[in-house]
Amino acid sequence: DFGIVHRDLKSPNILIDQENNPVIIDLGFGKAINQPRPQSTHLLSMKYSKSMKLTDGAKGTALWSPPEMTRDCAWSDKTDIYSLGIVIWEIFSRTLPFSHLDELSIESLQDLVQNGERPTIDETWDPGFVALIRACWDHDPIKRPSSRDLV
C-alpha cells in the first residue's frame, strides 16, 4: 500500500530479483492515489463511493483489465487487485488467461469479462488459492480484498 495504482499489472510487468522477490515494473500507467489532482480530472460518481475512481482513459492490457476499467475507464486501489488475481491464476495454470479462445477481439474479451466470464479454475488447486483468486477478480471492486488484506 504505497498510494500508487499501477493500472497495467500483468505477468510481463513482474520480474523476479536475485533473491526471488517479485519486482513490479513499467509504471507508465501508474497513478498516485490520495494526492491532490488537477482540476481537469473528472471524478466519477458511482456506487463505489468508498473507493476513488477517476476517468483517465482505458488503460492496461485487456487480458488483465477489470470490468470497471473496460466499462467506465474507472480505476481504484482495487483495479490492481483484480489483475493480481489473474496473475495468480496464471501461476497455477501456467498459461495466459483466455488463451483457449482463438482470435478473440479486445471488444469480445471485454464483453466476456463484463458478463462475469473469468479464466477456468482447476478445482484440484489448493482451495485457499482458489478462494483468493475468486475474491481478487470479483466483479464488484468493493468486494475484492484490499492490498492490506493480502499481506
Q: Provide the annotated active-site residues.
A: 8
Cell numbers at residue 44, please?
466519477
Question: Strand, helix or coil at 124?
Answer: coil
Rg for the chain (alpha carbons), in Å?
15
Q: How far apart are CA 60 and CA 51, in angstroms?
A: 19
- Collapsed DSSP state (helix, strand, coil) of residue 41: coil
Give the span between the Cα atoms of 100 and 42, in whole angstroms: 38
Phi and psi at 142, nearest 5°, equal -60, -30
